[in-house]
Structure 1
Amino acid sequence: MHGNRRATPGVFTVRFASCALLATATLLTGCERGSSRGPQESTTGPSGCPAAHARAETAVARAEKTDVSWDGPASGPPAASRKTIVYVAQTMTNPGVAGAAKGVREAARVIGWNVRVIDGGGSPAGIQAAMSDAVALKPSGIVIGGFDPNSTSRQVTRANEERIPLVGWHAVAEPGPSRRPELFTNVTTRVEDVAAISAQWIISRSNGRAGVVLITDSSIPFARNKSELIRTALATCRGVRLLAYENIPIPDASSRTPREISSLLARFGNRWTHSVAINDLYFADAAPAFRAAGENGSGPPFNIGAGDGDPSAFQRINSRQYQAATVPEPLSLQGWQIVDELNRAFSGRPASGYVAPVHIATADNSAGVTAWDPSGYREGYREIWGK
């Protein structure tokens, strides 16, 4: 049934044009926006959005460029010696969290520090226990890997009192230093940029005519904020309809995503043309359900991950298997940046203020690689540290 859908743009045009004719005479039933268990979708129509589409095409073309050099800090303190840092992970099953941890380990070997990773296992109790263990070790610094510091406020307060610098990765909504909670800095791309470009990719790819499913994890403030920004950006195009807003906690993704995908296919059928998720891992878990329903791996629906760009996401994209694009975090670069930011904290220097630019990876521009990082960051940081 759904396996007979075609990706031809003209088919979408005819379908939406037919809905537009019906809308002038009566209330739609066959082209109505789907119900959602999440927030109410913005009112949209079937006619596309020429101005928003033109802006989207320009932004997407810029983000898909691959000849991007690192434009991070040119100076900083030399490497501090004999430091031990603890990376507290929300869950190491989250590819973004694990990818940033890998970058931290690599950079620590270069700068000459010891690293310990403590896995919170994705549960509030596990994350609190991991943070308690981290503070008890009295390390030189702690990395908050992908969870809300406010969920461990007691442990964060203890670290602040003991003058242990805290650096976040996707810990709060904005990059840079944070006062409440008190973090030396937070390493991330700008969530506004990631949200906007993922929505613009859908607008550009669909010619301003799409039926979209948005998948998030509302238990994580960073992820919830990102999905709300995506929803707002999609609403700038009146021809884009938000069919469903699905809340699937990341720790439950492997068990819940296949069931939800099957249900969504039954509910929306051909109206579902595109998907966007706050993390690529949802599409790994969605693939079996798409395959079982006879969906073509190359779409529709055309799926884009608004983070994190882990190797499995690139593999799905390059093989055209149920994911068409990702907005990858430069995970290795960010691991190196975390180490550099801690080095600045140890030296009494301010945070660097560096924020990596957004990028879109597709099968056409990834050249078969399984990660995205601007070139030159390793050499740049080595020069700063004197390594």
Structure 2
Amino acid sequence: MTVEEAKSIVAKATQPSTKWTGPTTGPRAKEGGETIAYVSSDQSYVSYVNWGDGVKDAADKLGWEYKAFDGKGTVSGTLTAMQQAVASNPVAIVTSADASALQAPISQAVKNGIPVIGIHATAYPGPDPELGLFTNIASDPAEIGRTQAAYVIATSDGTAKLAHMLDNSYAIARFKAEAATTPVENLSTATFLESINIPVAEQSKRIPTAVSALLSKYGSDNVWITTCCDNFYPYVAAALRSSGVAPNAIKLVGADGAPSAYDMIRKGQYEVATVPEPSTLFGYQAVDAVVHAMAGEAPDEFVAPTYLVVKDNVDAEGGSKDQYIPSNGFACHYANIWLGTNDDCSAAS
């Protein structure tokens, strides 16, 4: 990736998300009389709540009942939540939990004729028969990492010194890391410093030491950090602040689009960009997969385009609510397909 290519990627990714590139045709939905279950691995995590809100909103348009089951952040709790969802005999189950840890109840659901749709339940978008998923809704992790790399290269004019922070026990984090770091490694004018592996559960304990070591080895001049997930950065920012590093010195480029990321970007406090995941759009995509499953059709292959939040657009595309909600009228487009209506979706964006 050259500097010019990076600048082109950034220019495209920061544009308003007004164009609908998803499906415009598909099976009609059955209206009323159905129940859809949403199994969240942790309803204290805002992204899982937002995705569930999207499922509920889409279900409401069809007159379907929505039931949420909360795993409360533990493997055993999520397993129980999934078992309860299967026992409730819904028309389908949507889950944000790691599908590999839920194989017994997922297998039971499939045996009972209940399709299971993941939202970030595995690393890549699309069907995953091995895990029992009719399909998985997600962004392309390679595109997320590539967009992070492009921002670092473009904004530093190809001179950045980059470190990457991740929990490498997650496959999706490793995929993002490779995509975010390889373009910098391959650029002769830039420098890749190192990858820093920190388990999510140990962030508060290990990040201060990791940041101190990074500063000791490399200083703060033109140093950038990318990461798999924005939830690392409140701890990183606190450690930088404690070390006396100015808020505009080391630059943080994140992913996921957590509320903390929007807040730091807005205030100019260390984090300068993030590649967010769509919030309620993922819920609509999941319900569309349910409609396809009920019709005996394969799921639609739409994957939402990558978007990049920077200070100039931090309040756009749902940013004023600290989440990414594309202004492309997606809810209207899906309703037109499911209900056979022909509403003007430009007015709904």
CA RMSD of aligned residues (A): 2.2
Residue 86 of structure 1 and its aligned partner are, at CA, apart by 2.2
Residue 200 of structure 1 and its aligned partner are, at CA, apart by 1.3
State the secondary structure of the residue aligned to 2:220.
helix
Alignment match of 1:383 (pick from 336, 345, 349):
336
Residue ranges of structure 2 left out of the alignment (5+ in a row): 342-349
State the partner residue of 1:205: 155
> Does 1:97 pair with 2:48?
yes
- Note closer, same or farther for the CA distance 1:216–1:98 as it changes in structure 2 (3 Å cut): farther
Q: How many residues align?
A: 334
Alignment match of 1:215 (pick from 162, 165, 169):
165
Which has the larger displacement, 266-275 or 329-338? 266-275
Residue 69 of structure 1 and its aligned partner are, at CA, apart by 1.6
> Does 1:296 pair with 2:249?
no
Greater Rg by CA: 1
Whole-angstrom CA distance in 1 between matches of 2:68 and 2:131: 22
> Does 1:195 pair with 2:148?
no
Residue 358 of structure 1 and its aligned partner are, at CA, apart by 0.5
State the partner residue of 2:64: 113
Whole-angstrom CA distance in 1 between matches of 2:259 and 2:62: 25
**Conserved? CA contact 2:142–2:175, under 8 Å:** no
State the secondary structure of the residue aligned to 2:105.
helix
- Note closer, same or farther for the CA distance 1:215–1:115 as it changes in structure 2 (3 Å cut): farther
**Conserved? CA contact 1:87–1:118, under 8 Å:** yes
Whole-angstrom CA distance in 2 between matches of 1:249 and 1:122: 15
**Aligned letter for 1:264?**
L
**Offset from partner CA, 1:192-242 (integer Å, 9 cap, x none):** 111111111111111111222212122222222222332333322233333
State the partner residue of 2:218: 268
- Note closer, same or farther for the CA distance 1:67–1:202 as it changes in structure 2 (3 Å cut): same
Residue 152 of structure 1 and its aligned partner are, at CA, apart by 1.9
**Offset from partner CA, 1:287-328 (integer Å, 9 cap, x none):** 22222222222x22111112x113332122111122100111
Whole-angstrom CA distance in 2 between matches of 1:92 and 1:171: 15
State the partner residue of 1:334: 282
**Conserved? CA contact 2:29–2:62, under 8 Å:** yes
State the partner residue of 1:88: 39
- Note closer, same or farther for the CA distance 1:269–1:175 as it changes in structure 2 (3 Å cut): same
Residue ranges of structure 1 left out of the alignment (5+ in a row): 1-50
Residue 56 of structure 1 and its aligned partner are, at CA, apart by 1.0
**Conserved? CA contact 1:86–1:141, under 8 Å:** yes
TM-score for both structures, normalised by structure 2: 0.87
**Aligned letter for 1:338?**
A
- Note closer, same or farther for the CA distance 1:105–1:67 as it changes in structure 2 (3 Å cut): closer
State the partner residue of 2:75: 124
**Aligned letter for 1:372?**
Y
Alignment match of 2:232 (pick from 257, 282, 297):
282
Which has the larger displacement, 206-215 or 251-260? 251-260
Which has the larger displacement, 205-214 or 263-272? 263-272
Alignment match of 1:358 (pick from 306, 321, 329):
306
How much identity, in percent, do the aligned residues show? 32
Residue 259 of structure 1 and its aligned partner are, at CA, apart by 4.4
**Offset from partner CA, 1:52-87 (integer Å, 9 cap, x none):** 222111111111111532221112233322222222
State the partner residue of 1:371: 323
TM-score for both structures, normalised by structure 1: 0.79
Residue 125 of structure 1 and its aligned partner are, at CA, apart by 3.1
